[in-house]
Amino acid sequence: MFETALEQCDKVEGMIGKKAKKHDQIELIESIPGIATYSAAVIYGEIADIDRFSSEKKLYSYAGLTPSIHQSGEVEYHGEMTKRGSKYLRWVTINAIGNHNRFCPNSNISQYYRRKKKEKPTKIARVNGARKLLQAIYWMLKNDDKFRARG
- ∠ CA 90-86-71 to the nearest 5 degrees? 85
Q: Is residue 68 a part of any domain in this protein?
A: yes
- The pLDDT score that the predictor gives to residue 84 is 80
Average per-residue pLDDT for the chain: 89
134 closest CA partner among 121, 142, 105? 142
100 closest CA partner among 21, 145, 40? 40
Q: Is residue 2 a part of any domain in this protein?
A: no
Q: Is residue 91 a part of any domain in this protein?
A: yes
Range of the domain at 99: 8-143
- Which of the pair, 77 or 134, is modelled with greater confidence? 134
- The pLDDT score that the predictor gives to residue 85 is 84
**Per-residue pLDDT band at 109 (split at 50, 70, 90):** very high
Q: Is residue 136 a part of any domain in this protein?
A: yes
8 Å CB contact between 127 and 11: no
- The pLDDT score that the predictor gives to residue 94 is 94
Which amino acid would we find at residue 126?
A: R
**Per-residue pLDDT band at 16 (split at 50, 70, 90):** confident
Q: Is residue 150 a part of any domain in this protein?
A: no
Q: Tell me the per-residue pLDDT of 76-94, one tens digit each, with 9 for 90 and over.
A: 777 777 778 889 999 999 9
Q: What is the DSSP letter of 51?
A: G
- Which of the pair, 2 or 129, is modelled with greater confidence? 129
Q: What are the phi and psi torsion angles at 134 (to 5°)?
A: -65, -35
User: Domain tally for the chain?
Assistant: 1
CA atoms of 53 and 65, how far apart (whole Å): 15
8 Å CB contact between 117 and 97: no
116 pLDDT higher than 90: yes
How much is the average pLDDT of 95-105? 94
Question: What Å distances lie between residue 54 and 24, 26, 59, 130, 139, CA to CA?
Answer: 21, 20, 8, 19, 11
Q: Is residue 134 a part of any domain in this protein?
A: yes
